[in-house]
Structure 1
Amino acid sequence: MEFTNKRTMLMTASLVLLVAITQIIYTALYVAEVSFSRQVLWGLEALIFTVLVAFAGASMVQAKNCQLGWSAIAFSAAINIVQVSIGLTLFSTFGKVAGSVEGAQPLIGGVVALSFMIYYAAKMLLGLAAIVFGMASLAKGSKAIGGVTTLAGVVAMFANGILITFGRDGFLPSGVAGASGVVATLLLAICLITLYRKED
């Protein structure tokens, strides 16, 4: 099977949608205080991000336009692999050290802060992608999805940019940046599917 521009576009859109769904599931379980395996959920996310790097990268080089949007998706996926890997491999390790060695508590704080910095950067890139593809949808006549996706992208870029600049303990709650990024990701996926259907 040949992976044409349309096929890679559809695969990328589907993977972005899967990313949004896994993040919604994680948030819902966390808020509801339901016990679940972070290894399985974060491991699944890492798997999706790994494949997404390849498909978004292929879309970037195959596409006739919107290369900035495809690039933002590809690099967001790449740094998300790093972010999820930190969570899977270092959170528990450094947590044990910090709990048993006196004065080592800042270690886990530093690891968590690093993970969140990467998380915000990835969400900011997805916000940029949402703006690019939202504007592309507007240009093709899809005013509703295009407009709301563009707006969500602006909010995600702004919110996550604030936390990158001022830190996680700044004046904006971390949850606002994360939620805006998830909404932008979901709308981005819908927007990409809409654009796919209008491709020649």
Structure 2
Amino acid sequence: MEFTNKRTILISASLLLVLAISQAIFSVLYSAEISFSRQFAWGLEALVFTLLVAFAGSAMVQAKNAQLGWSAIAFSAVLNIVQVSVGLTLFSTFGKVAGTVEGAQPLIGGVVALSFMIYYAAKVLLGLAALVFGLSYFAKGGKAIGSLTALAGAVAMLANGILITFGRDGFLPSGVAGASGMIATLLLAICLISLNRKAD
């Protein structure tokens, strides 16, 4: 099977769709206090992000335009791999240390803060990608999906940018940034699939 530019774009969009849906499912389970394996959830995300780096990177070098959008997707995936890896490998380790060593509690707080900083940065990049591709689709006649995707991208950039600037304990709830990023990712995937079809 040859990985043409169109096929690479479709696979990248599908991976983004998987990420958006899986994050929505895990968020609902977490909110409902239904137990699930974080190893499986975060491990699955890490695997999908790893594949996304390759396919979005390939799309970026093959693209005739919108390289900024593909660059944002590829580097957001890299950041998300780091963020998920921190969660999988360091949360429990530092949590055990903080629970047994006096005065070590700030350690886990620092690790969590680092993870969220990377998380917000990745969401800013996904928001930028949604803005770029949303405007591109809007210009090609996809007024509804294009404008919605661009708007969601701008909101995700703003919300996550605020949390990077003012911190997780600032005036904006962290959930707003996460939700806006998830919606932007979902619409970005739909927009990319639509753009890919329009290119036929």
Same fold (TM over 0.5): yes
Aligned to 2:86: 86
Aligned to 1:156: 156
Q: What displacement does 1:34 show?
A: 0.2
Aligned to 1:113: 113
Name the % identity.
80
Distance 2:114 2:66 in 1: 30
What aligned pairs does 1:1-200 form with structure 2 within 5 A after superposition? 1-200=1-200
RMSD of Structure 2 on Structure 1 (CA): 0.5
Distance 2:41 2:175 in 1: 19
Alignment: residue pair count: 200
Distance 1:18 1:36 in 2: 18
Q: What displacement does 1:22 show?
A: 1.2
Listed one character per residue, the Cα deviations across residues 29-75 of structure 1 (whole Å, up to 9, x for unaligned) are 00010000000010000000000000000000001110000000000
Name whichever of 20-29 and 44-53 sits farther off.
20-29
Distance 1:21 1:47 in 2: 15
Distance 2:22 2:38 in 1: 11
Q: Which amino acid aligns with 1:102?
A: E
Distance 2:66 2:139 in 1: 12
Distance 2:22 2:122 in 1: 15
TM-score by length of 2: 0.99
Distance 1:102 1:187 in 2: 46
Q: Which amino acid aligns with 1:26?
A: F
Listed one character per residue, the Cα deviations across residues 67-108 of structure 1 (whole Å, up to 9, x for unaligned) are 000000000000100000000000000000000000000000
Q: What displacement does 1:129 show?
A: 0.2
Distance 1:20 1:124 in 2: 15
Listed one character per residue, the Cα deviations across residues 126-182 of structure 1 (whole Å, up to 9, x for unaligned) are 000000000011011000000000000000000000000010001111011111000
Distance 1:126 1:76 in 2: 6
Q: Which amino acid aligns with 1:186?
A: L
* Structure 2 segments unaligned to the other structure (5+ residues): none
Q: What displacement does 1:26 show?
A: 1.1
Q: What displacement does 1:11 show?
A: 0.5
* Structure 1 segments unaligned to the other structure (5+ residues): none
Q: Which amino acid aligns with 2:131?
A: I
Q: Which amino acid aligns with 1:69?
A: G
Distance 2:109 2:153 in 1: 29
Distance 2:26 2:121 in 1: 19
